[in-house]
Chain A
Amino acid sequence: MRAAVDHSRPGLLDWLSSKRVAPYLFVAPVLIFALSLFLGPLSFAAYISFTDWDGVADPKWVGLKNYTYLIGRDRFFWTSIWNTLYFAAGSVILGVPSALIVAALIAQSRFQSFWRTVYWLPMVTNIVAVAYIWWYILNDTNGLLNRTLDLFGLPGPNWLTSTSMSMFSVILVASWMSLGQNILVFLSGLSGIDETYYEAARLDGANPWQVFRHVTIPLLRPTILFVLITSLINALSSFVLMMILTEGGPARSTTVTGLYLYDMAFTDLRLGRASAAAYILFAIIFVISLIQLRLLRRGGVEAH
């Protein structure tokens, strides 16, 4: 009788394998990872953003002072936000269409593996080396680009040393660097389009441009939107290239918010203010991502 009662009571193993518990057990490693390495630091940064802290002495609670300073008083913070948006928009506008065009050309070429390798090389090259090579290419007087332009009697702009040209030059280099990754994603999307669509279009008399415009692009829309969203998020949070290539100059014309808050935190030791800046940047990226997701649902996935 007693043994029968014990058998009817659910054991630990039964409880662990129940539908109520088991799913959480499976995701537990990820949850623990997220809690310790994501939510923990995130919560700490949120707390620090309301304090004045140099990393050594005890944090001093200052309420919203860091946020009000950044939003209301720090005239350079908004310039850095503008620089960030300019860089992100420029990288996407220049980088994504060029990657799509190159991918479409590679998809029709005979040596796909070779071209894939060539365009992937910048991705596996150290960013410091990339920055140095481009620094020499873009040098005003002796750079390869200006010397080449001179051969054709063209003017040689101050690519990295003029406050009006420097950000464009950084965008150029960043787009070149991310080209390989985007090309690979586009190639993967292109290989998923059924050949019969192209055959049908050609039978209807469509020329190559019409095929690309009316068949390839609509069928590739989910991939395009994926590349757009990932490129934009990457660009909004990037700062290493500017740190190495231009040190954020001249006159901070290439200082994006990421670089500005890095200096704030680790050079000026204003960790509280830097955390507040990081949260404001996070809010901006979050809103932009939400808008993109909404557009993606309407014009992308839901459309298919």
Chain B
Amino acid sequence: MRLTSGRRLLAALAGLMLTAAPASSQPTTTTIRVATHYNAQQIAPMLACFRQYEAEHPGTRIVHQQVSYEDFIQTILISRVGRAPVDIYNLYSIWAPQLIATRALDPPPFEIERFVRANYTPAAIGAATIAQRLWGIPNSVSVYQLVYNKKLLEAAGFSAPPRTPEERMRIAGAITKKNRQGNSVIGGYAFDLSGANVTHVFYSEMYAARVPPYTADGRHTNLRSPTALAILTKQTELFRRGITSNSVLAVDFAGGGVGMAVMANWMKDTLRSVLGSRFEETVGVAPIPTDGPGGTMIYSFFWGVDAASRAKPQSWDLLRWLNSPRGHGGLSCTGAMLAGMGDLTGNRADLSAMRGQTADPFSQAYIAALAAPGAASQPNIWHASEVDRLLKYYIQLAWAGRMTPAEALAAADGDIGAILAEQP
């Protein structure tokens, strides 16, 4: 039988419809994009969880996007200008005020807020809270303590770490060794000059003295306080006496080039990988030296969802799934990832499940510091990154002797005060 051209056309159309029909009946795929600053090795446990979630939730695809820490907030904002926002972000808490001001973040639904309040420590919840409102699910928690080289201290005749800035000066001075050019071979004490660490150590010392660097409303600084002046004066003295310098860096600690430095807990992995079996006999952890009651600074990351995401409910569902106990020895996916990095968390179930991995004296000292009454969350102030850089500049001017500590703190207070006055 021969088909006429009209019938041929009809047959072709019917064929097309038949082939198109199964495609249109397939469920549409929801893609959730997750942006973090973690590298491939760090994020690996999380990627395995993503694949598991995809298998359990057909029609969901999860894509990880690594963004450098330095460019994170810019990347978020630029991707939003390009109408291609990422759905889930791992946010450093101090970035949040600017993102909230530009309405970039989605406030979590009621059930997520209830989940967070039931399962996380107050400090972790506080870090994800801006203007009395919770903006996401807490992720990693970092805390600062004094890390010291037990062997170098012993060789200098000291059996215990310093408790006050004066003791720090004395012990660090005894450890310091220089070559004949006058450059440090072993620095008694080191600062970490990268990123915001100069400022973070200064804040930690202020919290240890129980004077917060900013007022509770985040509109003024306490940099003109006698406590701030005493802290910077003693730091400057370390430079003036040659106990430390800009070339004595905290990263040289693992190589035995530094006696003491204030470090965050996530340095454990680096120190352990360099020192190997000598880790426990070499590395000691002690509270931040202070003349005050004691304490330190906590800073945190939290998971947030973009307000312009096309998959907000799915993103919050995914986040809840990733942060609930999953079978990695009772750890959540986030907990498994953080444990792999030697990082801490504010998730109570994860903290409990991490007990085995955090039984060593190094982690125990940090966990104790986290729970101590003097541990305070870094305030989520307006333009915090800019403020941190500005304060670092003035602190370094004092260290270099280009300004007196009082002049540097007064200038910092003036400039930072102007930034804080901009906030709505």
Contacts and interface: CB of A to CB of B under 8 A. Distances in A.
A274 to B, nearest CB: 12
Contacts of B300: none
Interface size class of B (residues with CB under 8 A): 35 or more
Interface stretch (B33-41, B70-78, B355-363): B70-78
B65 to A, nearest CB: 18
A289 interface: no
A268 B402 contact: no
B179 A150 contact: yes
A158 interface: yes
B188 to A, nearest CB: 14
A56 B183 contact: no
B393 interface: yes
Contacts of A252: 393, 396
B423 interface: no
Contact of B74 (A141, A160, A269): A269
B247 A141 contact: yes
Contacts, number: 84
Interface string A150-162: 1000011010111
A25 interface: no
A57 interface: yes
Contacts of B383: 268
A63 interface: no
B193 interface: yes
A96 B245 CA distance: 34
Contacts of A263: 389
B77 A76 contact: no
A162 B181 contact: no
Interface string B389-424: 100010011011010000000010001001000000
Contacts of B104: 56
A250 B191 CA distance: 13
Contact of B183 (A141, A163, A267): A141
Contact of B81 (A55, A146, A158, A247): A55
B398 to A, nearest CB: 9
A73 B397 CA distance: 19
A149 interface: yes
B382 to A, nearest CB: 11
A82 interface: no
Nearest to A52: B422
A4 B64 CA distance: 73
Contact of B393 (A55, A57, A76): A76
Contact of B246 (A57, A73, A75, A161): A161
A105 B396 CA distance: 44
A251 interface: yes
B181 A149 contact: yes
Interface string A54-77: 111100000000000000010110
A85 to B, nearest CB: 19
Interface in B167-218: 179-185, 193-194
Interface in A246-289: 247, 249-252, 263, 266-269
B181 A251 contact: no
Contact of A56 (B80, B396, B415, B418): B80
Given A56-B104, A269-B73, A163 B402 contact: yes
B193 A249 contact: yes
B277 interface: no
A21 to B, nearest CB: 39
B78 A250 contact: no
Given A158-B246, A266-B74, A250 B396 contact: yes
B77 A56 contact: yes
B164 interface: no
Given A54-B77, A55-B81, A269-B74, A251 B247 contact: no
Given A54-B102, A250-B193, A251-B393, A141 B77 contact: no
A139 interface: yes
Contacts of A141: 179, 183-185, 247
Contacts of B154: none
Contacts of A251: 393, 396-397, 399-400, 402
Contacts of B194: 247
B66 interface: no
A155 B245 contact: no
A60 to B, nearest CB: 12
Contacts of A56: 77, 80-81, 102, 104
Interface in B350-393: 383, 385-386, 389, 393
Nearest to B178: A141
Interface in B89-130: 98, 101-102, 104
B247 A161 contact: yes
B300 to A, nearest CB: 21
Contact of B78 (A55, A76, A155): A55
B320 to A, nearest CB: 28
A269 B95 CA distance: 12
Q: Point out which of A73, A140, A263 has the most chain B C-beta atoms below 10 A from its C-beta.
A: A140
Q: Which 6 A-B pairs have the closest CB atoms?
A: A161-B246, A251-B396, A156-B181, A140-B247, A268-B386, A161-B247
Interface of B: 70-71, 73-74, 77-78, 80-81, 98, 101-102, 104, 179-185, 193-194, 245-247, 383, 385-386, 389, 393, 396-397, 399-400, 402, 411, 415, 418
7 contacts: A141-B184, A150-B179, A150-B180, A156-B181, A161-B247, A163-B396, A249-B396
Interface of A: 54-57, 73, 75-76, 139-141, 146, 149-150, 155-156, 158, 160-163, 247, 249-252, 263, 266-269
Given A141-B179, A141-B185, 15 more contacts: A75-B411, A139-B247, A146-B183, A149-B181, A156-B182, A156-B183, A158-B183, A158-B246, A163-B396, A163-B400, A251-B393, A251-B399, A252-B396, A267-B385, A268-B386
